[in-house]
Amino acid sequence: MTIAQFSGLFDAFNARAMNFSQVAETFVPPSFFHSMLKPCHTLLVGPRGSGKTTLLKMMSYDGWKCLHAQNDTPREGFPFIGVYIPVDRSWRTGLSDMLGQSAVSSRTSNAASRGLVNTHVHMALIETVMSVVSDHSHDAHGENSEVEIIRELAETWKLTPKQSTFISLMRELRTIQAEVIRLRNRALEFNDEDAAARLVSMDYIHNDPIGTSAIAIDGICKLYGLTPIKWALLFDELEISPKWLKDAAFSSMRSINQRILLKMSAAPFDDDLEENANPTAPTALNDYETIPLWYTTKDEGFDFCKKIAHNLINKNSSILHSTGDALGTSILDSDAGRGTYAPGGDAHKRIERLAERDATFAEYLASLPFDYRNLTGVPEPMMAQHIRKPIEIIVFREFFLKSRRGRIEKRSRKSLDIYAGESSVYAISEGNPRWLIGLMNRMIDLSNGTVPIPHNVQSRSILETTNRFRALLRTIPAPSAHADRGLLALIDRIGSGFTARLLGDKFDPEPALSFIVPADASNDLLDAVSTAVRSGALVYLPDSAADIAIVSPRGKRFRISFMLAPNYSLPLIKGRYISLNSLIHQRDDTGRQLSIF
């Protein structure tokens, strides 16, 4: 299962289909944007919709120009000249099913892949060069430089453009691209051996796309006097590129000249990036910096989401509204001030109500070294440990549980206002701009643009969005051996496992809400978890920056996406962790173990 096989949620907000100017118009720089601009190789890792394309487009030369034109600020301090290279699925056509192919087919697919990568990379580079030259070249002999560089490139790249101009070179590259596709199709679909031989014999396709781009950049910088400036090749969606390109890109991080930076975006847990398998390969925090594009806790993405929400709320409004006014406070923010724990305060009331209906919670309170009815004098560390920390669990149990004949049971809730309010809305979006925009736009539509947006409207929009996300997940097949069950079966099993622990008979102040993938997990399970992370259904929780693994989920910790939390009545925290095995392996009435993997 690859990320390419399912469509993204809310594709209307997909930056891939937008031009630089459109992306710049709505761009909100995340807190780590400056880290991305550092003069070092960078790997941006994030699931679908996490803003990888937007960020790379804004780091490109033309994107940067649009961004600064939009903000009406000077373009000084340009960190590098970025060449945006969208990875194309056609680069791996025929490569994915090479097992069982004849040697001729395999050679053809490889040759075509290399030809297409080279033409795409070189065209992206030349387009950027044309833009740079038209902005920087005040040299009266600029056109002579163009003739000179094209002659040099033609020789290095093994090309024969009709004229020594960038335009002619672009035309030549387009012609080669069309020729590569034509020969590949003839060779693979009609077993045309002559076409296969002609394809393989094309000198140009055997170029190293990154190395030859570096040579071109060197020449261009010298001729146009751009020597101090660094360049960055910005590969977007590396996960859908062929493995040979991933290998080349990672090995280039060590060998490429200092002028060239590689900044690439990838989905987490890509089997092809087996960096650990190769001891000479570059490693994270050494040759490149890895930047995760997701937030592990709900507070991390708050400021970024707030800016996006502010723009959306005020897009068509003549009066400027604050996001706080528009979305209101979340019930889950009830630990905001100590007043809420005083008698009559919201948290205090909830504690009392739960204690009345949940005997196990009452036992918990009785075991505390202070009287919960008078929390005002309780020392802060004690308060934090026993009340503030579990408050979200208390609020959820109070909201979802009722007492019936001395026993507690889950009550059905039509309205899920518990998920409404500013901080919760942002948390549910996971800081994923595409999700947040989709969610906010729906709320604004349903409330007809009025502010504040009522909590019942917010919770309705959230539920709709959650259901849309589930519908998308339903279309994603599970790993090959269990294709009939679908990925959603795994997510549901995990989600309901957490629900049972949160809303079970016994109050647990720190229930398990995240899991670790066991070291002995089957390949099917590993694939399923990887796919779920790439689709955004699961969120990876690295222990540290050095642990932003992109290779295997084995031994790593995950939680369910907050976007799915309303479906399982889960709070927006990561909680304690347990082994994935204990969630997905259940026993039937006879004690027989049931497993979906």
Partner 1 sequence: MPSIKILLVSDLHAGSCENPENPSSWLDQERDSTNAKANPVVGLIETLNRAAIHPDFLVCTGDIGNIGNPTGIAYGWEQIAKIRKELNIQNIITTCGNHDIQRPNGQTVVDPWAHVRNLSPSYPFDDIHSNIKYFTNGFHVANYQPFRFIIVNSCAFHDNPAELERGKIAKATIDAIEAALQVDKGRYCCNIIAVHHHPHRYAEIDYDKDYDSIVGGSEFLNMLETSTQNCLVLHGHKHLPRVSLGGGLLARTVLFSIGSLSAILYQKLATISSNQFYILELDSDSIASSGMVGDFTAWDFQYTKGWVPAVSRTMKTHLPYKGSFGSKIDHVSCANTINGMIDGKRIVKWASIIRAIPHLRYASPYDIEYLQAMLTDRHNCGIDIDQNGRPIQAAPGVTP
Residues 402, 411: contact at Cβ < 8 Å? yes
* Residue for token pair 């890509």: 270
Task: For the CB of residue 144, give the shortest distance to partner 1 in the complex, in Å.
Answer: 6
Residues 584, 494: contact at Cβ < 8 Å? yes
Q: Is the Cβ of residue 133 or residue 351 nearer to partner 1 in the bound state?
A: 133
Task: For the CB of residue 160, give the shortest distance to partner 1 in the complex, in Å.
Answer: 6
Binder among 150, 395, 488, 491 for partner 1 (CB under 8 A): 150
161 binds partner 1 (CB under 8 A): yes
Q: Is the Cβ of residue 129 or residue 150 nearer to partner 1 in the bound state?
A: 150
Pick out residues in 106-145 that bind partner 1 (CB under 8 A): 143-144
Q: Is the Cβ of residue 145 or residue 423 nearer to partner 1 in the bound state?
A: 145
Q: Is the Cβ of residue 31 or residue 160 nearer to partner 1 in the bound state?
A: 160
Say how far apart CA 411 and CA 414 lie, in whole Å: 10
17 binds partner 1 (CB under 8 A): no
Task: For the CB of residue 259, give the shortest distance to partner 1 in the complex, in Å.
Answer: 25
Task: For the CB of residue 427, give the shortest distance to partner 1 in the complex, in Å.
Answer: 43
Q: Is the Cβ of residue 143 or residue 299 nearer to partner 1 in the bound state?
A: 143
Task: For the CB of residue 214, give the shortest distance to partner 1 in the complex, in Å.
Answer: 21
Residues 486, 596: contact at Cβ < 8 Å? no
Binder among 162, 315, 407, 410 for partner 1 (CB under 8 A): 162
**Helices marked H in 72-208 — which ranges?**
103-136, 142-157, 166-190, 193-200
DSSP string, 14-37: -GGGS-HHHHHHT----TTHHHHT
Number of residues that bind partner 1 (CB under 8 A): 17
Say how far apart CA 114 and CA 110 lie, in whole Å: 6
Q: Is the Cβ of residue 166 or residue 540 nearer to partner 1 in the bound state?
A: 166
Q: Is the Cβ of residue 150 or residue 563 nearer to partner 1 in the bound state?
A: 150
Beta strands 289-292 and 42-45, pairing class: parallel
156 binds partner 1 (CB under 8 A): no
Beta strands 260-266 and 289-292, pairing class: unpaired
146 binds partner 1 (CB under 8 A): yes
Task: For the CB of residue 141, give the shortest distance to partner 1 in the complex, in Å.
Answer: 9
Task: For the CB of residue 162, give the shortest distance to partner 1 in the complex, in Å.
Answer: 5
Q: Is the Cβ of residue 31 or residue 144 nearer to partner 1 in the bound state?
A: 144
Task: For the CB of residue 126, give the shortest distance to partner 1 in the complex, in Å.
Answer: 13
**Closest Cα partner for 391 from 340, 357, 459?**
340
Report CA Rg, the chain.
28
Say how far apart CA 196 and CA 188 lie, in whole Å: 8
Residues 468, 9: contact at Cβ < 8 Å? yes
441 binds partner 1 (CB under 8 A): no
Residues 28, 55: contact at Cβ < 8 Å? no
Q: Is the Cβ of residue 113 or residue 164 nearer to partner 1 in the bound state?
A: 164
> Across-strand partners of 540?
558
Amino acid at 102: S
| Cα 67 from chain centroid (whole Å) | 22
Task: For the CB of residue 236, give the shortest distance to partner 1 in the complex, in Å.
Answer: 24
Task: For the CB of residue 140, give the shortest distance to partner 1 in the complex, in Å.
Answer: 11
163 binds partner 1 (CB under 8 A): yes
Residues 567, 466: contact at Cβ < 8 Å? yes
Binder among 34, 151, 206, 307 for partner 1 (CB under 8 A): 151
Helix (H), strand (E) at residue 579: strand 576-579
167 binds partner 1 (CB under 8 A): yes
Task: For the CB of residue 198, give the shortest distance to partner 1 in the complex, in Å.
Answer: 22
Residue 4 makes CB contacts below 8 A (sequence gap 6+) with 89, 240
Q: Is the Cβ of residue 165 or residue 360 nearer to partner 1 in the bound state?
A: 165
Q: Is 181 strand, coil or helix?
A: helix
**Which range touches partner 1 (CB under 8 A), out of 15-23, 157-165, 242-250, 588-596?**
157-165
Residue 487 makes CB contacts below 8 A (sequence gap 6+) with 1, 473, 476, 477, 478, 528, 531, 532, 535, 537
375 binds partner 1 (CB under 8 A): no
69 binds partner 1 (CB under 8 A): no
Say how far apart CA 121 and CA 430 lie, in whole Å: 33
19 binds partner 1 (CB under 8 A): no
307 binds partner 1 (CB under 8 A): no
Say how far apart CA 282 and CA 467 lie, in whole Å: 41
160 binds partner 1 (CB under 8 A): yes
Task: For the CB of residue 129, give the shortest distance to partner 1 in the complex, in Å.
Answer: 15
Neighbours of 261 (CB within 10 A): 23
- Residue 329, judged by CB atoms within 10 A of its CB (0-12, 13-18, 19+), counts as middle
Q: Is the Cβ of residue 168 or residue 317 nearer to partner 1 in the bound state?
A: 168
Residues 234, 56: contact at Cβ < 8 Å? yes
Say how far apart CA 270 and CA 92 lie, in whole Å: 15
Q: Is the Cβ of residue 54 or residue 164 nearer to partner 1 in the bound state?
A: 164
154 binds partner 1 (CB under 8 A): yes
Residue ranges of E strands in 354-428: 401-404, 407-410
Binder among 147, 342, 471, 546 for partner 1 (CB under 8 A): 147
Q: Is the Cβ of residue 170 or residue 229 nearer to partner 1 in the bound state?
A: 170
Task: For the CB of residue 520, give the shortest distance to partner 1 in the complex, in Å.
Answer: 53
* Binding stretches for partner 1 (CB under 8 A): 143-144, 146-147, 150-151, 154, 159-165, 167-168, 171
